[in-house]
């Protein structure tokens, strides 16, 4: 099956899982159905059930691809070690689990297909609004089937959402000092499935991510780049699935990427 031929089967699977598993649990979780994998890193029964259903569906769609899911990696970290090798489905069964567990938006389902570390296609689905963002390598980005181009917000100062909660206190202080009077700082949604669309849709201009796990960023980086924005490592290199170095900088245009890189990291 071609990458283009995967668009609708994967989208249909995500819609089904959102409808049958994720949304019935939204604002309907018992206390014992929510736990912490680590400090401030939640998992719910819906995450686990969603991943199992997505993994089974994706294996049926493209059986030659291995499965790398967030919750499977939490149980067996060795799975993540093969992320940059071979053909892999990358699954985030519920991105923004902290929001989901608290009964508030945003949250989403994210899937990517990567080959030898290069993301070939990505899907970002919002079960609350049914918005589907999709990108294919060399094929552009779409929202609900319509081509989309990233655009700057047009604000007097670029609008920046900086995910600094995984940085050291010193790194956070440095970023905040460098941002003063250079950017309009806004709250982050703590949900990459929402943050990447905001960069494309002109709501935010700049985002910095410290942790760069593949289920959080494989689909989003491709979506932003194919829309004409830019997401790269802080040194300007491309994001590769399996590269566990910290630090990603995304912007709604290459121009603003350069501005942000110079302001924040040079």
174 annotated as a binding-site residue = no
- 95 annotated as belonging to a binding site for a ligand: yes
92 is in an annotated binding site: yes
Instruction: Tell me how far apart the alpha carbons of residues 157 and 189 are, in angstroms, rounded to a whole number.
Output: 20
> How far apart are the C-alpha atoms of 205 and 161, rounded to whole Å?
8
Quick one: CA torsion of 119, 83, 192, 158, rounded to 10 degrees? -60
For residue 237, how many other CB atoms are within 10 A of its CB? Answer: 10
Q: Is residue 70 a known part of a binding site?
A: yes
Distance (Å, whole) CA 266 – CA 263: 7
Q: With contact defined as beta carbons under 8 Å apart, do 26 and 134 qualify?
A: no
Question: Is position 216 annotated in a ligand binding site?
Answer: yes
Question: Measured between alpha carbons, how far is 10 from 16 in angstroms, rounded to an integer?
Answer: 10
Closest CA to 5 of 134, 197, 193: 134
Q: Which residues make up each annotated binding site for Mg(2+)?
A: 70, 92, 94-95, 216
Q: Which residues make up each annotated binding site?
A: 70, 92, 94-95, 216
């Amino acid at each position: 099956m071609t990458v283009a031929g995967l668009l609708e089967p994967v989208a249909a699977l995500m819609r089904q899982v959102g409808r049958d598993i994720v949304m019935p649990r939204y604002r309907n979780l018992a206390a014992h159905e929510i736990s912490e994998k680590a400090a401030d890193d939640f998992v719910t029964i819906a995450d686990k059930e969603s991943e199992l259903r997505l993994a089974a569906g994706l294996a049926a769609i493209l059986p030659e691809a291995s499965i790398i899911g967030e919750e499977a990696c939490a149980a067996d970290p060795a799975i993540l070690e093969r992320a940059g090798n071979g053909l892999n489905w990358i699954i985030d069964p519920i991105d923004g689990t902290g929001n989901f567990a608290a009964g508030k938006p945003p949250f989403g389902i994210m899937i990517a297909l990567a080959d030898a570390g290069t993301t070939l296609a990505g899907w970002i689905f919002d079960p609350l609004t049914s918005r589907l963002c999709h990108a294919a390598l060399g094929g552009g980005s779409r929202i609900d089937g319509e081509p989309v181009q990233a655009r700057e917000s047009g604000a007097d100062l670029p609008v920046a959402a900086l995910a600094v909660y995984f940085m050291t206190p010193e790194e956070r202080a440095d970023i905040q000092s460098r941002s003063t009077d250079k950017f309009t700082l806004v709250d982050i949604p703590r949900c990459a499935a929402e943050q990447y669309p905001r960069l494309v849709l002109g709501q935010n201009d700049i985002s910095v991510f410290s942790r760069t796990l593949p289920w959080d960023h494989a689909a989003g980086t491709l979506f932003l780049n194919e829309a004409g924005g830019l997401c790269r490592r802080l040194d300007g290199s491309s994001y590769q699935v399996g590269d566990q170095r910290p630090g990603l900088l995304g912007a709604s245009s290459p121009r603003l990427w350069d501005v942000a890189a110079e302001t924040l990291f040079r």
